């Protein structure tokens, strides 16, 4: 079995209906590095619908053939595997380019004519899927112009399904997120809007639901009686690269915590849904987000959060610059490149279980891991055995770079003495299934074509996530904000981050 979208018995997934995918921002980095390579890999696995067309839409005027050559270069550089010449030839024949100046209403009418002609040529009434791979400042404008040009059809009476995919960042705070939701919903119905978070397309994140609910041994333990605490770490060893101007206005909490981490946390902690349909799963995720205790006073924020900024140091024995020395960053910037927070979920399942999250740039390694640490057994049986104590059982779900799950248990090592030593049982995606995991965008694009919104974020999820972190961000921006600690590049953040756990006798897990 070499198809990553086939099941354990080799069965195939249902094919998506005929689709015309219109990508706004067609010459941008996201399109060339992620979207087009993902589509070509779907074509190689024979999962694209028939017929299927791609229409690149951007402000420049580019002939179709020149655009095809442009995306071919992106595929050669960024695809996870080599695309067969035959597959590329068939795919490229269905790729077109159309100039659309986002604020020019006439360009949208011309786009409609082009799409109608393509549909006639392909002999079908294709669904229209719009991907807004642009700055969020254009989301409302593009949506309104699509609607005014008659390119958005109602879900009740339309002859075709029309949907829109929008990329993060989805708002800068709660108020801007609400405004953006209203702008989109003035042109599209909520069920037509697919807010994409590529983390939810990663195999290991999707596996959280299967792991929890398909294994009877874990669900009875998945509560405050047996779990001591949870840690979620998203570490990057890279700096900000060419994103200095953007990142300096954003910070690591808006860039990572508000979306990726809270999405993963909500999946990890949900109650069993009635089914794996989109709204059943998302309803339960919203309940988790609503149950997270809010920060209501500056004292709570200062006790439960730590922020930091990297200074010059070493990554892999190479000297690297400090954050304020990066291109596009203000010399007196107080933007955080590291954040650690202590959260609690006030419901019957999780009451009293702290959840520690941390994320940062220029840390020693690139790794994303969820660690569930179980309560320690009583030490009385081992206290006289000259042993340092029984280790906690730890269930670790690694999302990247090494996708897999490990469980640390205690066992007696060989020898005449009765001792307990930790051992680790591991499952690795690559070794266990013998196929490479598809890129996250492959799964998400395929689901959007099918109209399956399970792995996409709903409007109330977005707003609840912002509601949790807004008080923190606003307090950090006041004159009475807590200290911005520094940490050397290549270390695990400011030493003060350990204080979040130290007061309760806990510590960050070594990654």
Note the pLDDT of residue 123: 79
Q: Is 260 a catalytic residue?
A: yes
Longest dimension (CA), the chain: 84
Residue 297 falls in which region: left (phi positive, over 0), alpha (psi -120 to 50) or beta: beta
User: How far is it, in rounded angstroms, from Cα 111 to Cα 108?
Assistant: 5
* Alpha-carbon span 481 to 225, nearest angstrom: 36
Active site residue: 98, 198, 229, 260, which one?
260
- How many angstroms separate the first and last alpha carbons of the chain? 33
Listed as own residue / partner, the contacts of 406-413 with beta carbons closer than 8 Å and 24 or more positions apart are none
Tokens linked to 450: 């099918």
Average model confidence (pLDDT) across the chain:
91
Determine whether domain 19-167 maps to CATH 3.40.50.720. Answer: yes
CA 11, chain centre distance (Å): 27
* Residue-wise pLDDT tens digits, 152-182: 998 877 788 999 999 988 999 999 999 999 9
Kindly list the domain boundaries of the chain, sorted by start residue. Answer: 19-167, 200-438+458-502
Q: What is the DSSP letter of 36?
A: H
Q: Which CATH superfamily is domain 200-438+458-502 in?
A: Dihydrodipicolinate Reductase; domain 2 (3.30.360.10)
Task: Give the CA distances from residue 180 to residues 24, 185, 460, in Å, rounded to whole numbers and listed in that order.
Answer: 17, 9, 12
Whole-number pLDDT of residue 385: 56
| Cα 397 off chain centre by | 15
Distance CA 76, CA 486 (A): 40
Least confident of 17-26, 34-43, 354-363, 501-510: 501-510
Strand partners, 370: 232, 397
Tell me how many degrees the CA angle 169-139-71 measures, rounded to the nearest 5.
80
Burial label for 314, CB within 10 Å (0-12, 13-18, 19+), is middle
Record the pTM: 0.92
Helices (H), 214-261: 244-248, 251-252
**Any residues with CB less than 8 A from the CB of 509 and at least 6 apart, and which?**
231, 233, 369, 371, 373, 394, 396
Domains 19-167 and 200-438+458-502 share a fold: no
Q: Residues 279-307: pLDDT tens digits?
A: 999 999 999 999 999 999 999 999 999 99
pLDDT digits (tens, 9 = 90+) for 391-441: 889 999 999 888 889 999 888 888 877 777 888 899 887 777 766 778 899
Q: What is the pLDDT of residue 503?
A: 85
At 5 the pLDDT is 46
- Per 3-state DSSP, the chain is made up of helix, strand and coil in percentages (nearest 5) of 40, 20, 40
């Amino acid at each position: 079995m070499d198809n990553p979208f086939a099941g354990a018995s080799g069965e195939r997934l249902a094919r998506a209906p005929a689709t015309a995918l219109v990508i706004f921002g067609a010459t941008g980095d996201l399109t060339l590095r992620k979207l087009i390579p993902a589509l070509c890999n779907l074509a190689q696995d024979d999962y694209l619908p028939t017929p299927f067309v791609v229409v690149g839409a951007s402000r420049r005027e580019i002939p179709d053939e020149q655009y095809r050559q442009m995306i071919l270069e992106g595929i050669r550089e960024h695809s996870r595997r080599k695309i067969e010449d035959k597959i590329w030839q068939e795919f490229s024949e269905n790729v077109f380019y159309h100039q659309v100046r986002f604020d020019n209403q006439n360009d949208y009418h011309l786009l409609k004519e082009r799409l109608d002609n393509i549909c006639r040529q392909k002999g079908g009434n294709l669904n229209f899927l719009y991907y807004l791979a642009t700055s969020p400042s254009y989301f409302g404008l593009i949506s309104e112009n699509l609607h005014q040009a008659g390119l958005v059809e109602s879900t009740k009476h339309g002859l075709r399904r029309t949907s829109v995919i929008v990329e993060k960042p989805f708002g800068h705070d709660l108020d801007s997120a609400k405004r953006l939701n209203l702008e989109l919903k003035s042109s599209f119905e909520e069920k037509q809007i697919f807010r994409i978070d590529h983390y939810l397309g990663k195999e290991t994140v999707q596996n959280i639901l299967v792991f929890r609910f398909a294994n009877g041994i874990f669900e009875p333990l998945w509560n405050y009686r047996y779990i001591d605490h949870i840690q979620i770490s998203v570490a990057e060893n890279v700096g900000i690269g060419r994103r200095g101007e953007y990142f300096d206005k954003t910070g690591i909490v808006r860039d990572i915590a508000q979306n990726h981490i809270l999405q993963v946390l909500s999946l990890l902690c949900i109650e069993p849904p009635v089914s794996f349909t989109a709204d059943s799963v998302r309803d339960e995720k919203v309940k988790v987000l609503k149950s997270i205790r809010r920060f209501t006073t500056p004292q709570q924020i200062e006790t439960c959060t730590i922020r930091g900024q990297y200074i010059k140091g070493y990554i892999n024995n190479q000297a690297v610059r400090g954050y304020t020395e990066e291109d596009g960053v203000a010399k007196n910037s107080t933007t955080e490149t590291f954040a650690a927070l202590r959260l609690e979920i006030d419901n019957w399942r999780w009451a009293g279980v702290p959840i520690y999250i941390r994320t940062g740039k220029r840390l020693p390694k690139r790794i994303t891991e969820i660690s569930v640490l179980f309560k320690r057994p009583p030490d009385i049986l081992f206290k006289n055995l000259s042993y340092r104590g029984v280790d906690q059982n730890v269930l670790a779900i690694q999302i990247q770079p090494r996708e897999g799950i490990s469980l640390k248990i205690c066992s007696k090592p060989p020898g005449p003495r009765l001792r307990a030593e930790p051992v680790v049982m591991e499952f690795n995606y690559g070794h266990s299934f013998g196929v490479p995991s598809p890129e996250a965008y492959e799964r998400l694009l395929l689901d959007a074509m099918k109209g399956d919104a399970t792995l996409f974020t709903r409007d109330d999820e977005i707003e609840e996530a912002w509601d949790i972190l807004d008080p923190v961000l606003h307090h950090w921006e006041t004159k009475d904000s807590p200290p911005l600690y520094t940490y050397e590049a290549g270390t695990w953040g400011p030493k003060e981050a350990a204080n979040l756990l130290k007061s309760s006798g806990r510590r960050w897990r070594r990654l």
